[in-house]
């Protein structure tokens, strides 16, 4: 998921990211999100639509709230914690 976070930082300015976080229609209509989503869905076909949307919103929130390096560390920590539980 770090790749998705990187893409959000690369392709979305702050105002667009905030708007997408607040408005599902904005996420659904964004060519950037469609491109990112297509890539993620190709690599992770097991994700249901609702799981993808929930994950995407969480990554958008990190994109909005934290600088890139800190958001990336948080994603890495989350992945490590999930791997330890499984």
pLDDT recorded at residue 16: 92
**What is the value of pTM for the model shown?**
0.84
pLDDT at position 62, please? 97
Question: Which DSSP helix (H) or strand (E) runs through 79?
Answer: helix 68-85
pLDDT in tens, 5-58: 998 999 899 999 999 999 989 888 888 887 887 888 788 888 787 888 888 899
Q: Do 65 and 19 meet the contact criterion of CB atoms below 8 Å apart?
A: no
Q: How is residue 66 annotated by DSSP?
A: S
């Amino acid at each position: 998921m770090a790749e998705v976070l990187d893409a959000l930082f690369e392709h979305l300015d702050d105002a667009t990211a905030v708007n997408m976080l607040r408005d599902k229609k904005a996420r659904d209509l964004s060519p950037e999100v469609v491109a990112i989503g297509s890539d993620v869905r190709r690599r992770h076909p097991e994700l249901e639509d609702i799981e993808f949307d929930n994950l995407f919103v969480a990554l958008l929130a990190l994109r909005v709230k934290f600088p890139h390096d800190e958001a990336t560390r948080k994603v890495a920590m989350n992945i490590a914690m999930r791997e330890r539980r499984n």
